Amino acid sequence: MNKIDNLKKYTVKDRLKLDCGKEISNFPIAYETYGELNGEKNNGILIFHALTGDQFPYGKNPITNKEGWWSYALGPNKAIDTNKFFVISTNVIGGCMGSFGPSSIDPSTSKPYGSSFPVITINDMVNAQKFLLDYFKIKKLFAVIGGSMGGMQVLQFVSNFPNIAEVAIPIACTASHSAQNIALNELGRQAIMADKEWDDGKYLENGKSPSKGLAVARMAAHITYLSKKGLQEKFGRKLQERDALKFGFDADFQIESYLRYQGSVFVDRFDANSYLYITRAMDYFDLTKQFNGNLSDAFKGSKTKFFIISFTSDWLYPTTENREIVIALNAIGADVGFIEITSDKGHDSFLLDVPDFLNAVKNFLNNSYKNIHETRI
Amino acid sequence: MKQEFKIISSLIEENSKILDVGCGNGELMKYILENISNNIRGLEISKKNVQDCIEKGLTVIEGNAELDLGQFPDKSFNYVILSQTLQAFLNPEKVLYELLRVGRKAIVTIPNFGHWKIRIDLLFKGTMPVTENLPNEWYNTPNLHMCTIKDFVTFCSQRELKLTKSISLSGKKVSYIKKNNLSYKNLTSELGIFEIEK
């Protein structure tokens, strides 16, 4: 835990009223920045992470010692070029990489909040992150970018703060979490809560760890991030370090071994209660309903330039759902571009080395910045 | 730049709002953006072309004109451009009405199947014409509904669609198409360029 205590944090003094009705204040937001803010303060980009991401998209994560989750897309001369842009990345509230979350200590009991942590929403996450912009004295952001749950935050951010971001790139996301996605999240939550070690969410104070449940949740979720074709090509029916089937329940197949590995490494870096809270926030996300069934109203009067990106093999946040956002924006004459990238890598495509995707982001960002800030002298 | 694009651009008033349907690699959009109006966007079906447009800094939506025009509100553009694509749609009539719903004016260009070279090909060679504007063979052409300039003019007048400008392009030669020269222009034009209002 000490290592996490040492991460960069900003403590929000203000009160934040959450959607659940509770109020929080004096809470930490863990963050990281890349690149430099220019004199005009017009090159700021806020990026939002997905369900299991954190504030470390680039470089070595000091806690996990692994490469950042967006190392293909972000860095010097990359799609999100840190030589040009000042990138702010935060850990969402509810998370477990230093921001206010269920593993934070409740000062009134001196124990981790666990399941007494308030239920948070995408709206709450975005409102909390806005305080950090005030801390950096950034009035206008050049861009807000995120994939998956990060994309939902992009949509919510632009809706809540219509005049702050000049461009917005929601990637592989939706404006309204589908029944299928709620079902898949529920599967993960039930796996965690069925683990006796979860202990009604009090595992931290009781020295337990629901790692089996969390691993199963991760395994199930991991399948949804890939595509059938991608899995078939990578694993097929290949056997794991054996020549024949063993007629038992060991990991005979490579895919089984791969999933088990994914589950086991995940539990070392992620908090089970955070998984419950963040998936819940995703399920509750319904920007369309928030605007009484008319998604266009979420963006009314917005001067933001939108660029929406989906992937052909993403069945978790399919192109049709991304297109709904495009349609809503066109209905109000907003400035919106859209591309569906061809990729066999499923929902995870936005995190991987998919050149068509990375080029589109790079070209869009660089051209937009040039058009907005460099041409009009 | 293509002569066709120069003529299209000359029809557009400054600072108007424009949608280029089937905008291709964005050549025309870029010219209009830099010279006439910065309020232009494209709809394009080919992913490669969409990428090219993004590289040029253009606003483009990947989509199919036959399915995706419905999302634009009535009269949300001053001009909707459709360059040499009408003949490739399953239902060109429906697309044309959609163009005139979302745009106050439509600028439509069509490769003229009535051009004398095409007629000669069919008459003397007895084979389906292959020309510069229509480079495909019969078995791989995307053009499902070829028409002549005369066909198109008749089509519009039957539906009381106003052709506010009718221009003929033959090589580099530009001329107006009028009632009294229609048959002649139908023989000599490679391309017809029409500004249409409903």
Is A124 marked active-site? no
Average pLDDT over residues B52-59: 97
Single-letter residue type at B166: S
ipTM: 0.93
Q: Is B56 on the interface with A (CB under 8 A)?
A: yes
Instruction: Name A200's Cβ contacts closer than 8 Å, sequence gap at least 6.
Output: A114, A115
Q: Is B75 on the interface with A (CB under 8 A)?
A: no
Q: Do A342 and B47 touch (CB under 8 A)?
A: yes
- A234 vs chain B: nearest CA distance in angstroms? 26
Q: Is B48 on the interface with A (CB under 8 A)?
A: no
- pLDDT score recorded for residue A140: 97
pLDDT of A314 over the 80 cut: yes
A327: chain B residues, CB-CB within 8 Å: 71
A363: chain B residues, CB-CB within 8 Å: 51, 54-55, 57
Facing residue for A337 by CB, picked from B61, B71, B72: B61
3-state secondary structure of B91: coil
Rounded CA-CA distance A154/A304 in Å is: 11
Rounded CA-CA distance A309/A319 in Å is: 8
Long-range own/partner contacts, residues B71-74 (CB < 8 A, 24 or more apart): B71/A326, B71/A327, B71/A330, B71/A331, B72/A330, B72/A331, B72/B19, B72/B102, B73/A330, B73/A331, B73/A333, B73/B102, B74/B101, B74/B102
Token duo for residue A26: 């004096």
Q: Is B119 exposed, middle or buried (0-12, 13-18, 19+ CB in 10 A)?
A: middle
Strands B18-21 and B77-83 come out as parallel
Q: Do A330 and B61 touch (CB under 8 A)?
A: yes
- pLDDT score recorded for residue B133: 82
Facing residue for B54 by CB, picked from A331, A364, A371: A364
B62: chain A residues, CB-CB within 8 Å: 338-340
Instruction: Name A12's Cβ contacts closer than 8 Å, sequence gap at least 6.
Output: A25, A26, A27, A28, A29, A128, A131
Q: Do A339 and B59 touch (CB under 8 A)?
A: no
Query: pLDDT tens, A218-258?
Result: 999 999 999 999 999 999 999 999 999 999 999 999 999 99
Average pLDDT over residues B58-80: 97
Reported confidence tier of residue A374, pLDDT bands at 50, 70, 90: confident
C-alpha separations of A286 from A27, A296, A310, B167 in Å: 26, 13, 19, 50
3-state secondary structure of B168: strand
Q: Is B72 on the interface with A (CB under 8 A)?
A: yes
Find, in chain A, the residue whose alpha carbon is nearest to that of B71. Answer: A327
Closest CA to A278 of A61, A119, A54, A112: A119
∠ CA B167-B170-B172, rounded to 5°? 100
Facing residue for B62 by CB, picked from A330, A339, A370: A339
Q: How far apart are the first and last CA of chain B?
A: 30
Q: Is B126 on the interface with A (CB under 8 A)?
A: no
Neighbour-count burial for B15-28, b at 16+ CB within 10 Å, e otherwise: ebbbbbbbbbbbbb
Question: Annotated catalytic residue: which of A148, A211, A310, A343?
Answer: A148
Q: Do A330 and B71 touch (CB under 8 A)?
A: yes
Question: Annotated catalytic residue: which of A99, A347, A349, A368?
Answer: A347
- pLDDT score recorded for residue A3: 84
Assigned CATH class of A182-279: mainly alpha
Q: How many CB atoms lie within 10 A of CB B165?
A: 17
Token duo for residue A224: 């949804």
Torsion A48-A51-A56-A57 (CA) sign: negative
- B32 vs chain A: nearest CA distance in angstroms? 15
Q: Do A367 and B57 touch (CB under 8 A)?
A: yes
Find, in chain B, the residue whose alpha carbon is nearest to that of A311. Answer: B47
Q: Which residues of A touch B (CB under 8 A)?
A: 305, 326-327, 330-331, 333, 335-342, 356, 359-360, 363-364, 367-368, 370-371
- pLDDT score recorded for residue A377: 42
Instruction: Name B25's Cβ contacts closer than 8 Å, sequence gap at least 6.
Output: B49, B52, B53, B56
C-alpha separations of A88 from A16, A91, A276, A364 in Å: 21, 10, 25, 19
Facing residue for A360 by CB, picked from B51, B57, B73: B51
Q: Where are the domains of chain A?
A: 2-177+286-374, 182-279
Ordered domains of chain B (ranges, CATH):
3-197 (3.40.50.150)
Architecture of domain A2-177+286-374: 3-Layer(aba) Sandwich (3.40)
Averaged pLDDT score across all residues of chain A: 96
Question: Annotated catalytic residue: which of A124, A314, A344, A348?
Answer: A314
Is A347 marked active-site? yes
Q: Do A340 and B55 touch (CB under 8 A)?
A: no
Query: pLDDT tens, B132-176?
Result: 888 999 999 999 999 999 999 999 999 999 999 999 999 999 999
Find, in chain B, the residue whose alpha carbon is nearest to that of A356. Answer: B51
Find, in chain A, the residue whose alpha carbon is nearest to that of B49. Answer: A339
Rounded CA-CA distance A90/A84 in Å is: 19
How many Cβ pairs closer than 8 A exist between chain A and B?
54
pLDDT of A376 over the 70 cut: no
Single-letter residue type at A182: I
- pLDDT score recorded for residue A375: 66
B104: chain A residues, CB-CB within 8 Å: none
Instruction: Name B169's Cβ contacts closer than 8 Å, sequence gap at least 6.
Output: B3, B4, B7, B189, B190, B191, B192, B193
Average pLDDT over residues A146-161: 98
Q: Is B104 on the interface with A (CB under 8 A)?
A: no
∠ CA A208-A54-A321, rounded to 5°? 110
**Which of B20, B44, B45, B61 to mutate against chain A (most A CBs within 10 Å)?**
B61
Is A148 marked active-site? yes
Q: Is B121 exposed, middle or buried (0-12, 13-18, 19+ CB in 10 A)?
A: middle
Query: pLDDT tens, A171-222?
Result: 999 999 999 999 999 999 999 999 999 999 999 999 999 999 999 999 999 9
- B68 vs chain A: nearest CA distance in angstroms? 9
∠ CA A131-A370-A331, rounded to 5°? 70
Find, in chain B, the residue whose alpha carbon is nearest to that of A370. Answer: B57
Q: Is B54 on the interface with A (CB under 8 A)?
A: yes
pLDDT of A1 over the 60 cut: no
Query: pLDDT tens, A5-37?
Result: 899 999 999 999 999 999 999 999 999 999 999
Q: Do A339 and B56 touch (CB under 8 A)?
A: no
